[in-house]
Structure 1
Amino acid sequence: MICDLASFRSIREFAESFKAKKLPLHILVCNAAVCSQPWSLTEDGLESTFQICHLGHFLLVQCLQDVLRRSAPARVLVVSSESHRFTDLLDSCGKVDVALLSPPKKEYWSMLAYNRAKLCNILFSNELHRRLSPHGVTSNALHPGNMMYTSIHKSWWLMTFLFTLARPFTKSMHV
């Protein structure tokens, strides 16, 4: 089944198709990320890094929440990143600044967008666990490991250079 996290329509269609199969859902892994991407908007009008790395998963879990509850025991795993430590979502008054989540092009920095989305993943997982654990659904956020070499950085030359320097000291997907 195909699910495009950059499209709320696709996510809803995926969820409805999955529900129509009447299958249990004991584990849902939310693991998609884009990093170092140039600024762009999704068809829903949101900054793509934030929608793909966070909002898409959020909507998918919300759409499948009833299936998860019926399938209990069930678990949601949300892949985050240590990079969440290098950002904040608060304005100068200490309140959440929603404008930081889907910034206009002139205020966009790809790594900061990624970091913010990953912080949102952790906050989401914690709240999801609080709400669903009484119903037999647990949620955990995880960091997959330090600098595992992937092509997530492919569209930004500086990140590619840094990953190349770090590669001898990182995990690899290749044997």
Structure 2
Amino acid sequence: MRNELYYQVQHYLHLSEYVRNNPTGSLSVTASFFFFFFFFPVLLRHPCRRVRDGYTKKHVISSCARNYFRTPWSCDARLDDRTAVITGANTGIGRETALDLARRGAKVIIACRDMEKAEAAVKEVIESSGNSNVHCMKLDLADTKSIREFAEAINKGESKLNILINNAGVMVCPYGKTADGFEMQIGVNHLGHFLLTHLLLDLVKRSAPARIVTVSSMAHSWGTINLEDINSEKGYNKGKAYAQSKLANVLFTHSLAKKLEGTGVTTYSLHPGVVQTDLWRHLSGPVQFVMKMVSPFTKDSVQGAQTTIYCAVEPSLEKESGGYYSDCAPASCAAAGKDDDLAQKLWDLSCQLLSITSD
């Protein structure tokens, strides 16, 4: 029980980038007391379970502490006369990212599958930002036909695309397949955004200086890319499949930066932090209980969006490309995330699966 509990808490604290639609903020003082005097001692006494590249229980504890005592990042950069596309921006950190960019004067296009939620998000962003140049378009990242239709509409309807934020994703879900037969997590989190970026890249290049931001996770650190079974057909572990998809995000950003050298387009991947999640329904009852106890030390959706916004607008990053970020600062990614050979093999496989020409 303790082994499973520790692994799950470590896993979900570090992995979460989906946030609840209505984050509740901190729990009571009683919950905080319970966390420090029950949960922390459990972690400290527990045998250290090391994952890839040295991540251990101390990273769980330090992440919680940083979130509790964090100070906000701020930047007054304007985005007037710039256009941004954000996938999955109808809820959570995506919506908060859309709101921030709208407040900076950007034209914001919210791209998501559920148009009813998208329209509600557009209304909220317009009302909160005072920027009426906010729109929504249908995009289902689990269907390449939908991705191609969306990209075609953007290429025909927009004269520029200065910021592309690959934010949408699914996390540790039961086994399922996309419309094209890809395992859902690698299909949506990586292949869907890979295809979308490919189809919009010429427009992004013409709009330079431009940025492509992909939301990954610290989960990439214990991920591996199974080039022989990328769709987990020989066996499915939802945690490993998620970690694989997040490592794919980092490798994609790494490869893209190299391929875009000299174009004025820069790329970034990031870990949004320890964020409250609307995917707790996939956790067992005991782990859900513990997660409620640690929620005073997690980020809400506004805080969780800050590193995405940082990568999209921070002036000092204008000449940086291909890096990995966390807590609004450069961070170290796993060694696998900087493996040029693995990155190229994943690139070639992605092109093959999506029937597109490998550059």
TM over 0.5: yes
The one-letter code of the counterpart of 2:297 is: F
Q: Greater Rg, structure 1 or structure 2?
A: 2
Separation in 2, partners of 1:10, 1:157 = 34
Partner residue in 1 for 2:37: none
Separation in 1, partners of 2:247, 2:220 = 5
Deviation, 1:42, is 1.0
Work out whether 1:109 is the aligned partner of 2:237.
yes
Match among 289, 296, 299 for residue 168 of structure 1: 296
Work out whether 1:126 is the aligned partner of 2:254.
yes
Tell me, what secondary structure is at the counterpart of 1:166? helix
Separation in 1, partners of 2:292, 2:228 = 33
Separation in 1, partners of 2:229, 2:171 = 16
Q: Does the 8 Å contact 2:223/2:246 carry over to 1?
A: no
Q: Does the 8 Å contact 1:37/1:156 carry over to 2?
A: no
Separation in 2, partners of 1:160, 1:123 = 31
The one-letter code of the counterpart of 1:150 is: T
Partner residue in 2 for 1:66: 202
Partner residue in 1 for 2:158: 22
The one-letter code of the counterpart of 2:207 is: S
When residues 151 and 40 of structure 1 are mapped into structure 2, their CA distance, relative to the original with a 3 A threshold, is same
Separation in 2, partners of 1:51, 1:58 = 9
Q: Kindly indicate whether structure 1 or structure 2 has the higher relative contact order, using CA contacts under 8 Å at least 6 residues apart.
A: 1
When residues 33 and 154 of structure 1 are mapped into structure 2, their CA distance, relative to the original with a 3 A threshold, is farther
Partner residue in 1 for 2:127: none
Deviation, 1:161, is 4.4
TM-score when scaled to structure 1?
0.87
Partner residue in 2 for 1:94: none
Deviation, 1:163, is 3.0
Partner residue in 2 for 1:98: 227
Partner residue in 1 for 2:264: 136
Deviation, 1:152, is 3.1
Q: Which sections of structure 1, spanning at least 5 residues, go unmatched?
A: 90-96
Tell me, what secondary structure is at the counterpart of 2:266? strand
Q: Does the 8 Å contact 2:209/2:264 carry over to 1?
A: yes
Q: Which sections of structure 2, spanning at least 5 residues, go unmatched?
A: 1-136, 304-359
Separation in 1, partners of 2:201, 2:223 = 29
Deviation, 1:162, is 4.9
Partner residue in 2 for 1:92: none
Separation in 2, partners of 1:68, 1:174 = 27
Work out whether 1:87 is the aligned partner of 2:226.
no
Q: Does the 8 Å contact 2:143/2:178 carry over to 1?
A: yes
TM-score when scaled to structure 2?
0.44
The one-letter code of the counterpart of 2:260 is: L
Q: Comparing 158-167 with 77-86, which one deviates more in the overlay?
A: 158-167
The one-letter code of the counterpart of 1:11 is: I
When residues 174 and 102 of structure 1 are mapped into structure 2, their CA distance, relative to the original with a 3 A threshold, is same
The one-letter code of the counterpart of 2:298 is: T
Percent of aligned pairs sharing the same letter: 39
Listed as ranges, the matches of 1:32-47 within 5 Å are: 32-47=168-183
The one-letter code of the counterpart of 1:4 is: D
The one-letter code of the counterpart of 2:145 is: R
Q: Does the 8 Å contact 2:223/2:243 carry over to 1?
A: yes
Deviation, 1:174, is 7.3
Deviation, 1:87, is 1.9
Q: Comparing 113-122 with 148-157, which one deviates more in the overlay?
A: 148-157
Q: Does the 8 Å contact 1:50/1:114 carry over to 2?
A: yes
Separation in 2, partners of 1:137, 1:162 = 42
When residues 48 and 20 of structure 1 are mapped into structure 2, their CA distance, relative to the original with a 3 A threshold, is same
Work out whether 1:154 is the aligned partner of 2:290.
no
